[in-house]
Amino acid sequence: MTPFPKPVEHESGAAAPAAALERRSAALEIFLNRHKLLVLVALSIIYFVGTAARARGRVFWYDEIFTLTIAQQPTLPAVVRAWRRFELLPPYEQMPPFIHLVTHVVNRLFGAGEVVSRLPGMVGFWVFCLCMYRFTVRRVGVLFALAALLLPFATAAYGFSFEARCYGALLGFGGLALVCWQAAADGKKRALALMGLALAIVGALFNHYYAVFLYLPLAGGEALRSFRRRAIDWPVWLAFAAGSTPLAILFSALRNSINNAQNPWARASFRSYLDYYQSQFQLTIPFLVLVAALLAGYFVLGDPGAPSPSARRISIPDYEMLAAALFLAIPVAAISVALVIPPHMFTDRYAILGVAGLALLAPLLGARLAHGRSVVAAVFVIAALGPFLAELAQAKPFRNPLDGEPILRQALQREPVAVGNKLLFLQLWYYAPADLKPRILYLSDEASSVKYFHTGDLGPDAFAPYGAMTLRYREFAAPGKEFLVYLSGEWDWLPQKIVDDGGKLEVLIWRGKRSLIRALIN
């Protein structure tokens, strides 16, 4: 990779504007260095206000309702029992119980709702961003470190900061493990750093089984460090080993997860490699284009001259660069393993820790190529502020999803209606008023769901104890039975099953992808 042009010891003519920009950028860096805490507090306030606004306007979706249903038990032991029940019954909860327990505690302390129930994800994501800052500020200065803090917003990961699932917390623990490993390697408060390293890995693994791939960058970087030192740092490796204890504790649950997911809704394929990087880093492209455009304009102004004599000397250990690169390789490792091991379950968010690779590599490489110029670092920060502010500005007002289904709502006033789309059913059931909940039906048939959509069914038993009307199709759809069916256009096997069984369908209302149908079972 070709570095930026080397500085020259003069300033004249066309170079004056560039030199002036460098002086102002250096002054900005000095100011930010003196007020680091104030800047971080200000960014934190902006983040939490903006993210809370986005959370308030977003209805809970299918996966989140799993978390909330389990978390809204009266006691922590009851939460664990509910989690074990969901773990064994379709549609199965295929993750460890950490997020359910934390959400239960948060709800008991602060109440429930779209914002409060998503607080663990909000906090976890921001901890991750702060860890990206902490890891880089010690090597490349405050400006590039602020770019590292903001870059996760230029990925798809930000969407999990306002979701009541494990992924925001997983990112937070992954970031903490990284900075604790760096501190242990540097000998900074080593005993505390080693303890933090082990506990952070424990926290990550208690959030998601795929967190095991956190070992790829950490152990890979530590292996190179051991090679450079010609000595093994045994306390670090022991901390890695101690962090793996959840794998033994959760072994039975992990085995159940593998055995139960025989009809996964998302399977790994060779295309998954490309799909991951396209989906997770699509928002990164505008950032890179803006950086390139701003730097091109800067150098067009003329020779910027020498960097400030006070410019920070960049020294980045090669083992930290390797760790950053291996974060970016986590998706490749995760997909490769999923391709080999049944049931081949993988979706992009399982490898969400891969976004740390971008947040680390971009500023670290930028700092190496900048030759001490503060203006290059300032360009990174300006470009990274774009996706940060754009994401936080997208709040929308809350709207009950049942209000968006007027055909269904009107029909429910008269009689029960079967909803074949399991994603839509669970969301409508959760938000429906008490008088309408018993009228929203889901007819369960695992074989038909697999046959027509190659994915598992919602199941008749998991949500039934909590008031969901999930009924077995064969028991409900007896010969001579007549009932209403609401179609949403996707994930809906029910009408095809009725027709294949010799039943009849009469379309009552048809509006786009939504329709109300009367079914008659022969």
The 3-class SS string of 84-115 reads HHHHHCCCCCCCCCHHHHHHHHHHHHHCCCCC
Strands 482-487 and 440-444: unpaired
What confidence score (pLDDT) does residue 305 get? 56
For residues 75-88, give the mean pLDDT. Answer: 96
Please state, in angstroms and as integers, the Cα–Cα distance from residue 436 to each residue in 441, 487, 495, 514, following that order.
Answer: 10, 18, 23, 19
Q: In this structure, are residues 398 and 57 in contact, taking their beta carbons and an 8 Å threshold?
A: yes
Going by the DSSP 8-state scheme, the letter that residue 479 receives in this structure is T
| 100-113 as b/e: b if 16+ CB within 10 A | bbbbbebbeeeeee
Question: How many residues are listed for the chain in this entry?
Answer: 522
Q: In this structure, are residues 483 and 520 in contact, taking their beta carbons and an 8 Å threshold?
A: no
pTM: 0.94
Q: Say which residues have a Cβ less than 8 Å from residue 481's Cβ, sequence separation at least 6.
A: 520, 521
What confidence score (pLDDT) does residue 5 get? 47
What confidence score (pLDDT) does residue 312 get? 60
Q: In this structure, are residues 252 and 211 in contact, taking their beta carbons and an 8 Å threshold?
A: no
| 273-300 as b/e: b if 16+ CB within 10 A | eeebbeebbebbeebeebbeebbeebee
- Give the separation between CA 379 and CA 409, rounded to whole angstroms: 52
Confidence of residue 6 (pLDDT cuts 50, 70, 90): very low
Q: In this structure, are residues 171 and 352 in contact, taking their beta carbons and an 8 Å threshold?
A: yes
Of 246, 191, 251, 196, the residue nearest 218 (C-alpha): 196
- Give the separation between CA 196 and CA 239, rounded to whole angstroms: 9
Q: In this structure, are residues 330 and 361 in contact, taking their beta carbons and an 8 Å threshold?
A: no
Q: Is it the case that residue 39 has pLDDT exceeding 70?
A: yes
Which residue spans within 134-202 are E strands per DSSP? none
Q: In this structure, are residues 305 and 10 in contact, taking their beta carbons and an 8 Å threshold?
A: yes
What's the pLDDT tens digit per position in 368-419? 988 888 999 999 999 999 999 999 999 999 999 999 999 999 999 999 999 9
Question: Domain limits of the chain?
Answer: 35-303+311-392, 401-520
- Give the separation between CA 408 and CA 367, rounded to whole angstroms: 57
What confidence score (pLDDT) does residue 11 get? 47
Q: Which residue has the tokens 């670090």?
A: 236
Q: Which residue has the tokens 């880093």?
A: 281
3-state secondary structure of 148: helix
- Give the separation between CA 460 and CA 443, rounded to whole angstroms: 8
pLDDT mean across residues, the chain: 92
Of 203-207, 260-264, 518-522, the least confident: 260-264
Of 440, 467, 474, 471, the residue nearest 458 (C-alpha): 471
Confidence of residue 4 (pLDDT cuts 50, 70, 90): very low
Q: Is it the case that residue 25 has pLDDT exceeding 80?
A: yes
Which bin fits 335, alpha (ψ -120 to 50), beta or left (φ > 0)? alpha
What confidence score (pLDDT) does residue 309 get? 53
- Give the separation between CA 366 and CA 392, rounded to whole angstroms: 26
